[in-house]
A = this chain, B = another copy of it.
């Protein structure tokens, strides 16, 4: 009877109990949990094990522990829960990096298209400043920072916070730096800048089709470069 009785650790059980409490609405976003000592007593385990459970949920972006002040449920916003998504991009290498960029080539054109249909003049102005920052940058770090901000603000204008969080996680800062360094050697920075300008123009024209195409070309270029230089990322 019930042979598969997968022996589960008390810590794992506590993790799922707390997760369930949140899923059921028993614990709401921003709410404070009982103290570690009380919680461990209630769920019938030691404080050490309870702390491990809390640490695991903290790593997942579900809980947030404030030293001396208590443990709280995060806002459960996509940006909270998908923070760990960036870890995938950080520790992935080789073929998986190509897969990640392939996904970005699917998502970013869609997001840029959505942005073209609903971007405000104010957002457009901010995006334009990043273009100027890129043109004025001399250090590769400045360029990367402006590039990152450009894409982030474009995607944010699409109005889907979850989508923005995922795309954000797909390309870490260090990864971009490595790519741009490689691109610089080949002297195609001006080409990349032109691609950014095309994206901006499509947004300014409120043209979703053109925006999608421009974004696809841009990400596709990076993807192709990565495929050729995949050996450096093994």
State the A residues within 8 Å of B (CB). Answer: 11, 15, 19, 22-23, 25, 48, 51-53, 55-60, 62, 76-78, 81-82, 84-85, 87-88, 90-93, 96, 99-100, 102-103, 106-107, 110, 160-163, 166
Most buried by B among A51, A91, A161: A91
Residue of B nearest to A110 (CB): B106
Chain B positions within 8 Å of A106 at CB level: 106-107, 110, 163
Chain B positions within 8 Å of A56 at CB level: 55-56, 58-59
Instruction: Tell me if B103 and A163 are in contact (CB < 8 A).
Output: yes
25 of the cross-chain contacts (CB-CB < 8 Å) are A11-B55, A15-B59, A19-B91, A48-B51, A55-B56, A59-B60, A60-B60, A60-B84, A62-B87, A62-B91, A76-B91, A76-B92, A76-B96, A78-B92, A78-B96, A81-B88, A82-B85, A85-B85, A99-B163, A100-B162, A102-B162, A102-B163, A103-B166, A106-B163, A107-B107
A90 to B11: give the CA distance in the assembly, Å: 20
In the A-B complex, list the 10 residue pairs whose CB atoms are closest, starting with the nearest: A56-B59, A99-B162, A52-B55, A106-B110, A81-B88, A99-B160, A23-B91, A55-B56, A22-B91, A59-B59
